[in-house]
Chain A
């Protein structure tokens, strides 16, 4: 009875359908946008911090003067950190989310879905950004490292004050790109029931049996979010760098372009 009332109230045409869905459900979509943004912003920021830590483990180099124990520790940290990166880059985030959430539940740990979502995005972002940072460090002129060594800066301080600041500045477009990717990829978290934008779109679609209209609406909202984000990032970089030219692709398959003036 109630269902029939809902179904009969919506216009049959496409544009009318979209307008009706939006007018009657914008609160749900806003809620979805809120979670999508919270998860992708927090996940990207925390992922960046975690990637700095993992990168430190990843870039250990065995030197001639190291003791046997130091060598063992360094090999272990390289092995663990690269396994981490390989695993998270080598499996779909949707599968990771399912394993993580249901796995923990099976073991008796019930964590809030939102926290689970943020954690999964964080772990994933950390894996990708570790690779970004590592290639960034490899791209830093070796003279910077020798300069730091020559004044006796210990490695930790060298990375803290000399290497990471330069790498992070060079890698900013790639980090921004990761944020954009995360805004879209939070959609897969609907598999564990995180009420982000895609999840909301799905439930609205189910209410009206109007899948195309609902998902076109969701796509439009994603597009607006991504366009706004890339423009904000570009503006931010301009403020930081004067006239340097950066571009933010919105897909991972497009190479990142960095032009220093």
Chain B
């Protein structure tokens, strides 16, 4: 397990008796970029949300490094501070400014000093192009701006993994590109990225690995060139031709 940051074993998840994830097994390599594609309702977001336990699993294990985080004696807050997440609906804190959204985690969770946290936040806000908006209330920002702040907030946690849950799906078309550009810009070897997305060009360009899910199962799994050009899988090809 040395090189794997996330290991998922025999994971199943059902909502009110409906099985939405069926016996998933998956390893995520440290420092890799993995995108998960698939039709709506295929279980990709649910799988992503199991990785930081925003969804409880029905059975199976989710390992962060060597820790099974589905067990009740795990300090979930500590694990989550290392697995940041960027949401479709941004989920920025409405009562805080842009800067405070980025510093609350470092100050209250990582116990950094205010000065250190501010410095770090400014560094990442600059990286996502939001430094001029540092004192704005987040409710006054556009969707694209909000998502860029959300990416900075995730980076400020200095995480091992960042989960992206359809980060561009609720944006106006002209804002999609600015967020995708920021995402390309922040990809680094130090962090593992797991991205659920419908942006196929983006998935092809940035991924080390693409996973195709359908109906609660991992149907195909491989390098982007294989998934987008060489796979013979009918469900996958049907899906790719449709989008």
**Is the beta-carbon distance between B81 and A152 smaller than 8 angstroms?**
yes
Interface of A is mostly: helix
Interface of B is mostly: loop
A152-B80 CB under 8 A given contacts A65-B56, A65-B72: yes
Give chain B's interface residue range (CB within 8 Å of chain A).
20 to 34
**B56: contacting residue among A63, A143, A147, A162, CB under 8 A:** A63
**Is the beta-carbon distance between A143 and B87 smaller than 8 angstroms?**
yes
Is A166 an interface position by the 8 A CB rule? yes
- Across the interface, which residues of B come within 8 angstroms of A162, CB to CB? 93, 95-96, 104
- Across the interface, which residues of A come within 8 angstroms of B96, CB to CB? 162
**A147: contacting residue among B81, B93, B109, CB under 8 A:** B93
- Across the interface, which residues of A come within 8 angstroms of B70, CB to CB? 65
Is A91 an interface position by the 8 A CB rule? no
Interface residues of B (CB under 8 A from A): 52, 54, 56, 70-72, 76-82, 84-85, 87, 89-96, 104-105, 108-109, 153-154, 157
Binds B, one of A9-17, A25-33, A153-161: A153-161
A151-B81 CB under 8 A given contacts A66-B72, A162-B95, A169-B95: yes
Is A41 an interface position by the 8 A CB rule? no
Q: Which of A148, A165, A166 has the most CB of B within 10 A?
A: A148
Compute the total of residue contacts between A and B using a CB distance below 8 Å: 76
Q: What are 5 of the A-B contact pairs (CB < 8 Å)?
A: A66-B72, A149-B54, A151-B157, A152-B82, A169-B95
A-B CB proximity, top 7 nearest:
A152-B81, A147-B91, A143-B91, A151-B105, A150-B85, A152-B80, A65-B72
Min Cβ gap A47→B in Å is: 23
Interface 0/1 of A158-181, CB less than 8 Å to B: 000110011001000000000000
**Is the beta-carbon distance between A153 and B108 smaller than 8 angstroms?**
yes
**Is the beta-carbon distance between A152 and B157 smaller than 8 angstroms?**
yes
- Give the CA-CA distance A189 to B39 in the complex, in Å: 65
- Give the CA-CA distance A65 to B79 in the complex, in Å: 15
**Is the beta-carbon distance between A147 and B87 smaller than 8 angstroms?**
yes
**Is the beta-carbon distance between A151 and B72 smaller than 8 angstroms?**
no
A143-B90 CB under 8 A given contacts A151-B81, A151-B84, A165-B95: yes
**B77: contacting residue among A63, A154, A161, A166, CB under 8 A:** A154
- Give the CA-CA distance A161 to B7 in the complex, in Å: 33
- Across the interface, which residues of B come within 8 angstroms of A143, CB to CB? 87, 89-91
Beyond A143-B90, A144-B93, A152-B81, 17 extra complex contacts between A and B, CB < 8 Å: A65-B72, A66-B72, A144-B91, A146-B54, A147-B87, A150-B80, A151-B81, A151-B104, A151-B105, A151-B157, A153-B108, A154-B109, A157-B108, A161-B108, A162-B93, A166-B94, A169-B95
Min Cβ gap A10→B in Å is: 58
Question: Which residues 180-206 in A have Cβ within 8 Å of B in the complex?
Answer: none
